[in-house]
Amino acid sequence: MKHRLWHFKGGLHLHGHKHMSMTQHAVPLTPPSRVVLPLQQHIGEPAEPIVEIGQRVLKGQMIAKASEYISVPVHASTSGTVIAIEERTVPHPSGLPATCIVIEADGKDEWTELHPVTDYQAMDPSALRNVIREAGIVGLGGAGFPTFIKLNPGPGNVIDTLILNGAECEPYITCDAMLMQEHPRRILDGLLVMKHALHARHCIIAVEDNKKAAHTMLVNALHEHESEFIEIVQIPTRYPTGGEKQLIKVLTGKEVPSNGLPINIGMVCHNVATAAAVWETIESGKPLISRYVTVTGEAVETPRNLEVLIGTPFRQLLEACGWQPEQTDEVLMGGPMMGFGMTSLQAPVIKTTNCLLARPKNQPHRHPAMPCIRCGQCTNVCPAKLLPQQLYWYARAKDFDKAQDFNLFDCIECGCCAYVCPSHIPLVQYYRFAKTEIWAMERDKQKADHARRRHEFHQYRLERKRQEDEERKRKKKELLKKTQGKQDTEEDAKKAAIEAAMARVKSKREQQEKKNVDNLTEQQQQAIHKVEQRRQRLREAETGNEEKS
């Protein structure tokens, strides 16, 4: 039965340039002497290193663990010694460095102990997802979203169709085509694992009709496989059919809602290379440490696909394919439509590196941007049904609210609008600029809200402290008053007691006074008188002596 196909709006017919890199089989590239493994090769939070500098690691050993839910681990792609955990250049349009684990290879390429899954069908889907997560598998199509999350239908969701994306619509890139041609069994087996994890009813593998060989190989493999749930569909070659939403539209006629996910309409889309990586993990226990990379472009003598260890520097890939640096204008990671120029070729291959494109110098001159003439061609080709012209005006005027009103975030940055623009306006760059600015504003806003809460708490704390201090003071005063009153009465009692005692003593003394001089005889009185006179004389004599001296 022939599968009915639909069309998505817009899109372009582009010259594929795919034959260049399809003439030779993919070969493994010699492992480099040093691999650089960025902690973030996926969407989400970076992984956390679990090795130390100087530690020996084996090939396939986990060297950084997932830090959050949306995160996956990183594994050593060869055996050797960890020589650094530091900031290194990574493939990113900013050219900024990020934390990487650097391993000096010992050349032995010694594997760690691997744990293949013998019977995945007996496994619980959540355990299966965990195996896939621990293997560090992310979407290999380009975005790098952790695969285990996309293998979780979530509560209440029923997956009707699981789509394997083998469209590979961007010119020059052939890594998926080569993989489908060479390892169709791996892809089919991986697809069945994914189907089991998702409980999907039906599977479709979509291949563009310019990849005849890949399609034939897959169909042959499917005949051997005898799996009745899998359908292989050839779709017309049109850019960007490989976009998730566009592919779903072509295959099913359904549209993914704006700001929605395919899962909202019962569909999940994975890349063919991701399925192959899943099967490698299940079959042999190997984590994701290598991938197919297309090295192509007019500035490369023998364009071809290479099986490359993650962490290999770009320069080594290019040199393995007869790269001519003097003829190179620019090296892109990705294709000519969505790729970005590399500032440094020391950057390593990461999980999402699908293509290195060396563009030659003798290309037609890049035209400077001219004013928009409102021809509307961009609107005709936009596959997301947006109004690129309006988005351009608002992004240029930094009117980001308005740009969002025109669904800026539904833009898939495919580059069709900029490709057809007769004024050569770098439209996609405007949208990327607007998107990142909006995210930055969002971050600032969150930070400001956080600061406001902290400041409010700070003030509340000061106020509370002030009140507590006042309360304490008040209590102390009260206590002081009370005790003072008490002391007064006590002191009065003491004083009274003392006075009473004094009075008693006084009265006693009065009673006792001069008892020895009462009732004296005549003789005694005369004796006293004599003594008194003598004392008088002595006193006078003393004062006289003092006056003389």
Least gap, CB of 254 to another protein (angstroms): 32
Rounded CA gap, 289 and 312, in Å? Answer: 11
Least gap, CB of 153 to another protein (angstroms): 30
Strands 62-65 and 56-57: unpaired
Can residue 443 be called a binding residue for another protein (CB under 8 A)? yes
CB-wise, 436 or 507, nearer to another protein? 436
Rounded CA gap, 21 and 463, in Å? Answer: 71
Can residue 111 be called a binding residue for another protein (CB under 8 A)? no
CB-wise, 367 or 476, nearer to another protein? 367
402: left (phi over 0), alpha (psi -120 to 50) or beta: alpha
Q: Name residues whose C-beta falls within 8 Å of residue 506's C-beta, 6 or more positions apart in sequence.
A: none
Q: Which of 370, 501, 527, 528 binds another protein (CB under 8 A)?
A: 370
Can residue 435 be called a binding residue for another protein (CB under 8 A)? yes
Least gap, CB of 12 to another protein (angstroms): 21
Using the structure block, give the residue that is written with the tokens 């490709």: 419
Interface positions, 308-337, toward another protein (CB under 8 A): none
545: left (phi over 0), alpha (psi -120 to 50) or beta: alpha
Interface positions, 482-521, toward another protein (CB under 8 A): none
Q: Name residues whose C-beta falls within 8 Å of residue 82's C-beta, 6 or more positions apart in sequence.
A: 51, 52, 53, 54, 55, 56, 57, 63, 101, 102, 103
Candidates 26-34, 362-370, 504-512, 539-547: pick the segment binding another protein (CB under 8 A): 362-370
Interface positions, 67-96, toward another protein (CB under 8 A): 90, 92-94, 96
Q: Which of 24, 55, 436, 487 binds another protein (CB under 8 A)?
A: 436
Q: Report how many residues bind another protein under the rule CB under 8 A.
A: 38
Can residue 397 be called a binding residue for another protein (CB under 8 A)? no
Candidates 107-115, 242-250, 297-305, 448-456: pick the segment binding another protein (CB under 8 A): 448-456
> Exposed (0-12), middle (13-18) or buried (19+): which is 154, by Cβ within 10 Å?
exposed
Omega of the bond leading into 38 within 30 degrees of 0 (cis):
no
Decide: 76 and 63 in contact? Cβ < 8 Å: yes
Q: From the CB of residue 219, how many other CB atoms can be counted at a distance below 10 Å? A: 14
Q: Which of 19, 108, 458, 472 binds another protein (CB under 8 A)?
A: 458
Interface positions, 122-161, toward another protein (CB under 8 A): none
Q: Which of 111, 393, 406, 433 binds another protein (CB under 8 A)?
A: 433
Least gap, CB of 330 to another protein (angstroms): 17
Least gap, CB of 176 to another protein (angstroms): 26
Q: Which of 405, 444, 488, 491 binds another protein (CB under 8 A)?
A: 444
Least gap, CB of 451 to another protein (angstroms): 4
Candidates 146-154, 258-266, 354-362, 436-444: pick the segment binding another protein (CB under 8 A): 436-444
Least gap, CB of 446 to another protein (angstroms): 11
Least gap, CB of 92 to another protein (angstroms): 5
Least gap, CB of 399 to another protein (angstroms): 10
Q: Residue 153's closest CA among 197, 116, 217? A: 197
Decide: 267 and 195 in contact? Cβ < 8 Å: no
CB-wise, 227 or 390, nearer to another protein? 390
CB-wise, 115 or 458, nearer to another protein? 458
Q: Which of 12, 83, 369, 387 binds another protein (CB under 8 A)?
A: 369
Q: From the CB of residue 175, how many other CB atoms can be counted at a distance below 10 Å? A: 26
Provide the token pair at 337.
Answer: 């439509």
Residues 323-362: b if buried by 16+ CB within 10 A, e if exposed: beeebbbbbbbbbbbbbeebeebebbbbbbbbbbbbbeee
Three-point CA angle 387, 268, 142, nearest 5°: 65
* Helix/strand/coil for 362: coil
Candidates 257-265, 325-333, 376-384, 437-445: pick the segment binding another protein (CB under 8 A): 437-445
CB-wise, 307 or 437, nearer to another protein? 437
Can residue 344 be called a binding residue for another protein (CB under 8 A)? no
Q: Residue 84's closest CA among 112, 43, 55? A: 55
Q: Residue 343's closest CA among 153, 95, 139, 166? A: 95
Interface positions, 459-478, toward another protein (CB under 8 A): 461
CA 97 to chain centre: 15
Can residue 368 be called a binding residue for another protein (CB under 8 A)? yes
Can residue 43 be called a binding residue for another protein (CB under 8 A)? no
Q: Residue 358's closest CA among 390, 320, 403? A: 320
CB-wise, 66 or 251, nearer to another protein? 66
Q: Residue 99's closest CA among 134, 49, 159? A: 49
Q: Which residue ranges make up the site for another protein (CB under 8 A)? A: 40, 90, 92-94, 96, 98, 368-372, 396, 423, 425-426, 429-430, 432-433, 435-437, 439-440, 443-444, 447-452, 454-455, 457-458, 461
